[in-house]
Chains A and B, each alone.
Chain A
Amino acid sequence: MKFLIKFILVYFFIVSINYSQNTFKGKIINQKGEPVLGASVIVLGSSSGTSADENGFFVLSNIKENIIDIQISAVGYEKRIIKNVQPQKQINVILNEISILTNQIVVTAGKFEQNIQDLTVSTVVLSPEIIKKKNYITLDELLRNIAGIQMNLEQVSIRGSSGYSKGAGARVLVAINGLPIYSGDNGDIVWEMIPTNDIDRIEIIKGPASSLYGSSAIGGVINIITKTNTKNALTNFRNYIGFYDKPAYEVWDWSKSYRKFFGTELTHSNSSDKLGYTFSIKKFDNDSYRQSDFYKRILGYTKLNYNFNENDNITFFANYLNQNRGNFLYWKDSRNALVPKDEENGNTVKSNRLFTGIVYHNVFDNNLSADFKASYYKTKFTGYGVEITTSTADLFRTEAIANYKYNDKMFFTGGIEFSTANISSNIFKNPSFYGGAGYFQLEFHQIKNLIATFGTRFDLMKLDTLNVKSAITPRLGLNYKIDNNLVLRSSIGTGFRAPTPSEVFTTAGVGGGVDVIENPNLTYETSLSFETGLNYSVSNQYLLDAAFYQTDYNNFIEPNLTKEGDIQFINLPKARIQGFEFLFDWKITDELKINGGYNYMWARDLNKKIAMKYRPKNSFNFSARYTPSQFEFGIDYRFSSKVEEIDNALVQPPLALVTDGEKRVPVFVTDLLFGYNFFIMNIPTKIFFNVKNLLNYNYVEFIGNIAPIRNFTLSLEFYF
């Protein structure tokens, strides 16, 4: 009997050794630090698996192996594989939102929620996470890597819509939650104003959108959609430090030191039953690689959201930017490429900007909803140089929008808006502006697989002494799903753009004795555009998109040299931009993804029969991202061909304002990214190291302005 008992004990001991069961535990969160409820956890090579609970925790028990590989996946997130997982350690995993969103819902194209596959215009949706990973300090840096979008310094151009005019007027409407953020005086976009830490997604409409958005959208729309409030308290702290490398040539090394930059950002978000809030403060300074080009910025941001009930909510947000910066206009010459002209050295600009907006959303029933939006944008700057320049502008804007679903086959969107601006300035005079508009768009689903949209907008505006001007901008669009993966789209529409107060009334020196003079005869520019495109996507694996586009402009507004040697904005009689664009996005494996695009653009002043200024014929971009386990590696590459035409009047005699200003080259820029996601005391932490302009390639986006030289950044981010 004793033998039998010993035998049984030994047997069970041996069995327990052979069949010892391991338990693996972990937590799964997203990039916002929120638990990913229901995330699937599978042990690779077995049928074992589980899912995460409401707090993101999971437990894999009764696992025979001591070391396993697990796969974690969730709807809307990139799949991750973690190798060599051991039972005694807690596995903490951060899931990234997927980059290819074939079923992405967007609100910009039609001012109501639509599936991106149902649109009639080229649309791109960007995830904000890339801004932090690549340590883009402002949003415009991100846009440089999007095919069809070109940045000339701070001025954005979609498919060649804009050249460069020192910020005086834009042809792309940039908005936060649909509220435009162009300033009242020069109509420029201040990218530093955009709260990058509260962006949910960025929707970009590539092509004229005047039929819904009016004057400033003649070249397209960039709409920044802010995040919804977190359900639980979440604090995000981010800090970055970096420095510029030495310039490529010793003769350019004006400072004999490594120029530094840093930023720190604290954001807190929470919500109760009905009230949600986000507060953020950001301080970011940059010594700059150029002399007299520094900046010191403080950005404060707040957002409050109150849900009266499930159909009724109101959102208020405000951001305030205080900035003190150098005012680098042009280099001294190519031997002093990082130093301004002597007479401009030491020029500074101080500015304060306050943007507030309120959005009230009401759902009446399943078929009818309405939004009321209002915004106030106050801008004030003072430029210190030989002369002191000042401008203060107040811009009020209101809009009421209604969305009505007549039946399953017909949708209506309509709205009215009103805006007014008052300017007090010693360079733009003191003009005032009034504008009103009404618009509607109908969307039909009458024919199987075909979506047709028709809309038009009527604008009436009065800019100070200019005559009252009205414009009607109709647009027609078609979307045909050839099969589940292949979509054909096409649109034709008109656009118009009113000259900004700065284009009409500016009277100021731009250095070297050259003056900008007013042009009260400046008139409105109009456009007729056409686009057709094909989109092919397979699940979240591949995405191919090709588009042909053409826009004819009448009275295109551009700066020009007068016979008296001054610069004045004038109307070019006719201009045409034609192009072809190809985009691809390919998830090769769960860990390796590539994407890119090519754009060919032919932009011509039809009267002078020359190229339009600052438009590259060819541009190409490519990105690859490899994410093994908790690591991330990325590379971004962009190319654009040498621009044919520049502001020759500023470069050549008799003015020759910018010595060596004709020097320009094709653009080749390579950026690198290294990242690691981990936990410190159970706090999700991210560390990123970036190298921008890896090969220290010297190029200009605008005459006499060398783009940022090679620089290195280290950033650290915590969520708690």
Chain B
Amino acid sequence: MKNIIKIIPVLILFISLSCNKGIEPGEPTGPFGFSGKVTFVGKWPAGIKRTHIVVFKNEIKKVEDFFNYFSFIVDSIPNGAKEFKYNSIDNPFNPNIKLTPGIYSYVVVAQSKTPEITLIRSDWNVVGVYCINGDQNKPKPLIINQGQITTDVNITVDFNNPPPQPPM
């Protein structure tokens, strides 16, 4: 009996470690996403097959980051458009590509000359950046909160003044 009494504190210690319930249900949420408009300035380049708003988790510092940090893509913008208003909930490129709440450091408008969508860096040309005070060298983080639509995620694409290109 003495031996049993000795091991009881050990058992209590172990069991007390599991006294919280572990995984808990998340808070109920409504829809979340982002919206805004893209304004195009200048003449569209020739041969463009696709123009999309593309969201990356982090800035692209290496070629492979283009794939690794890719997070979301809005539906294709019609060729030759002057202005495109969008909402990530209503205009996803593919409903299976989903955002989650969080901070996304690099949001761009990118164009491709390939008919099929790829995540190969060399297939894309960045033509506009969601940025701070219009300075395309300073990307503005996109913050998406649970149950909220982040508005005014506006990007200006000036074909005459292209932004710096990530490594290719």
Contacts and interface: CB of A to CB of B under 8 A. Distances in A.
Interface string B22-65: 11111010000000000000000000000000010100000000
B2 to A, nearest CB: 10
Nearest to B28: A335
Interface in B1-19: 3-4, 7, 10-11, 14-15, 17-19
Contacts of B67: 563
Nearest to B92: A654
Contact of B23 (A514, A624, A659, A700): A700
A713 B18 CA distance: 21
A659 B32 CA distance: 13
A251 interface: yes
B129 to A, nearest CB: 19
B15 A653 contact: no
Given A592-B4, A624-B7, A660-B26, A653 B97 contact: yes
B168 interface: no
B96 A248 contact: no
A697 B18 contact: yes
A512 interface: yes
Contact of B98 (A248, A337, A656, A663): A656
A652 B24 contact: no
Contacts of B99: 653, 656
A700 B10 CA distance: 25
Nearest to A249: B25
A695 B19 contact: yes
Contacts of A252: 25
Interface stretch (A520-528, A574-582, A665-673): A665-673
A698 B71 contact: no
B3 A563 contact: no
A565 to B, nearest CB: 8
B14 A637 contact: yes
Interface string A39-54: 0000000000000000
Interface string A691-720: 000111111100000100000000000000
Interface in B83-100: 94-100
Contacts of A624: 7, 11
B130 interface: no
Nearest to B27: A335
Contact of B97 (A637, A654, A696, A706): A654
Contact of A248 (B14, B21, B73, B119): B21
Contacts of B71: 652-654
B23 A698 contact: yes
A4 B84 CA distance: 131
Contacts of A697: 18, 20-22
Contact of A626 (B4, B94, B96, B118): B4
Contacts of A564: 118-119
A653 B119 CA distance: 14
Interface string A286-309: 000000000000000000000000
A334 B26 contact: yes
Contacts of A668: 14, 17-18, 22
A657 B119 CA distance: 18
Contacts of B7: 592, 594, 624
B106 interface: no
Contacts of A664: 23
A664 B24 CA distance: 10
Nearest to A694: B15
Contact of A335 (B3, B11, B26, B100): B26
Nearest to A668: B18
A635 interface: yes
A682 interface: no
B26 A333 contact: yes
A590 to B, nearest CB: 11
A706 B18 contact: no
A337 B15 contact: no
A36 B31 CA distance: 70
Given A622-B14, A670-B14, A699 B23 contact: yes
Interface in A627-664: 635, 637, 639, 652-657, 659-660, 663-664
B22 A655 contact: no
A653 B23 contact: no
Contacts of B81: none
Given A513-B94, A592-B4, A656-B98, A563 B24 contact: no
A671 B29 CA distance: 36
A539 interface: no
A426 interface: no
A334 B19 CA distance: 20
Nearest to B94: A513
A348 to B, nearest CB: 24
Contact of B22 (A333, A660, A694, A699): A699
A624 B6 CA distance: 12
Interface in A574-627: 588-589, 592, 594, 622, 624, 626
Given A624-B7, A669-B18, A334 B96 contact: no
Most chain A Cβ neighbours within 10 Å, of B23, B96, B119: B23
A334 B24 contact: yes
Contacts of B55: 653
A477 to B, nearest CB: 35
A592 B3 contact: yes
Contacts of B73: 654
Contacts of B23: 334, 337, 663-665, 698-700, 706
Given A639-B14, A655-B97, A334 B25 contact: yes
B11 A635 contact: yes
Interface string A235-259: 0000000000000110110000000
Contacts of A665: 22-23
Contact of A637 (B11, B95, B119): B11
Given A563-B118, A594-B7, A655 B98 contact: yes
Contacts of B24: 249, 334, 698
Contacts of B98: 653-656
A103 to B, nearest CB: 26
Contacts of B95: 513
A656 B99 CA distance: 7
Contacts of B97: 565, 653-655
B96 A655 contact: yes
B70 A698 contact: no
A441 to B, nearest CB: 41
A670 B118 contact: no
Contacts of B124: none
B108 to A, nearest CB: 15
Contacts of A589: 3
A481 B97 CA distance: 61
Most chain A Cβ neighbours within 10 Å, of B67, B72, B98: B98
B52 to A, nearest CB: 12
Given A653-B100, A663-B23, A697-B18, 4 more contacts: A563-B120, A639-B18, A654-B73, A664-B23
30 contacts: A334-B25, A334-B26, A335-B28, A337-B25, A513-B94, A514-B96, A563-B118, A564-B118, A622-B14, A626-B4, A635-B11, A637-B15, A639-B17, A639-B18, A652-B71, A653-B71, A653-B72, A654-B70, A654-B72, A654-B97, A654-B98, A656-B99, A660-B26, A668-B22, A695-B18, A696-B21, A697-B20, A698-B24, A700-B23, A706-B23
Give me the 10 closest cross-chain CB pairs, A-B, nearest first.
Answer: A668-B18, A513-B96, A653-B71, A656-B98, A698-B22, A654-B97, A563-B119, A698-B23, A334-B26, A335-B25
